């Protein structure tokens, strides 16, 4: 992959491809080392986080660990982000916040799928204080690991 569009297309098609998030962080480091999303993409890839797709509303989303559905949910734990990150996720035109989840808005074109959600979480991660970012980056990957799809 040689362009940001390549990464966007890959992650929209295979949002579980955490290795692509790590490659995207490296790509941005090479092309624009000041990009605020770099650490966030690295964190998402290292933690092997992946948004869930809710078929009822056709939205992609993350939930916050410790939220109301944490213990009861049958959704993969890889779809949960720490509350400190969740609360920072931007609530602009691309995402909406609910009490326990943050999701993409409905009826967006395909290029506004999981990639846009990854971007919002990566930007939210960049707004955390440095000591929190370092603490989150030092955590091991989750146990429940979806394998990246091969294309």
Q: pLDDT (tens digit, 9 = 90+) per residue, 38-48?
A: 999 999 999 88
pLDDT above 80 (res 97): no
Number of structural domains the chain divides into? 1
**Within a domain: 149:** no
User: Of the ranges 2-16, 70-84, 110-124, which is most confident?
Assistant: 2-16
pLDDT at position 21: 95
Distances (CA, A) of 128 to 82, 91, 94, 116, 122: 12, 16, 20, 19, 10
pLDDT above 90 (res 23): yes
Torsion angles phi and psi, residue 26, rounded to 5: -65, -40
20-27 contacts at long range (C-beta below 8 A, 24 or more positions apart): 20/45, 20/148, 21/45, 21/118, 22/46, 27/1
Nearest to 46 by CA among 149, 133, 151: 133
**Within a domain: 35:** yes
Indicate the average pLDDT of the chain: 77
pLDDT at position 80: 78
**Within a domain: 123:** yes
- The parent domain of residue 97 ranges over 4-137
**Within a domain: 34:** yes
**Within a domain: 144:** no
**Within a domain: 150:** no
**Within a domain: 108:** yes
Q: pLDDT (tens digit, 9 = 90+) per residue, 48-95?
A: 888 877 777 677 777 766 555 544 455 566 777 887 887 777 544 445
**Within a domain: 71:** yes
pLDDT at position 78: 77
């Amino acid at each position: 992959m040689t362009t940001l569009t390549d990464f966007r297309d890959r992650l929209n098609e295979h949002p579980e491809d955490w290795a692509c998030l790590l490659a995207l962080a490296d790509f941005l480091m090479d092309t624009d080392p000041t990009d605020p999303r770099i650490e966030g993409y690295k964190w998402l890839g290292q933690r092997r986080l992946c948004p869930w797709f809710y078929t009822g509303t056709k939205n992609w989303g993350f939930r916050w660990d410790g939220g109301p559905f944490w213990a009861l949910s049958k959704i993969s734990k890889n779809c949960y982000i720490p509350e400190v990150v969740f609360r920072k996720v931007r609530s602009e035109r691309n995402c909406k916040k609910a009490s326990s989840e943050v999701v993409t808005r409905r009826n967006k074109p395909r290029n506004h799928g999981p990639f846009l959600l990854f971007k919002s979480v990566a930007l939210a991660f960049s707004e955390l204080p440095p000591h929190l970012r370092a603490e989150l980056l030092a955590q091991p990957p989750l146990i429940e690991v979806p394998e990246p799809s091969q294309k």
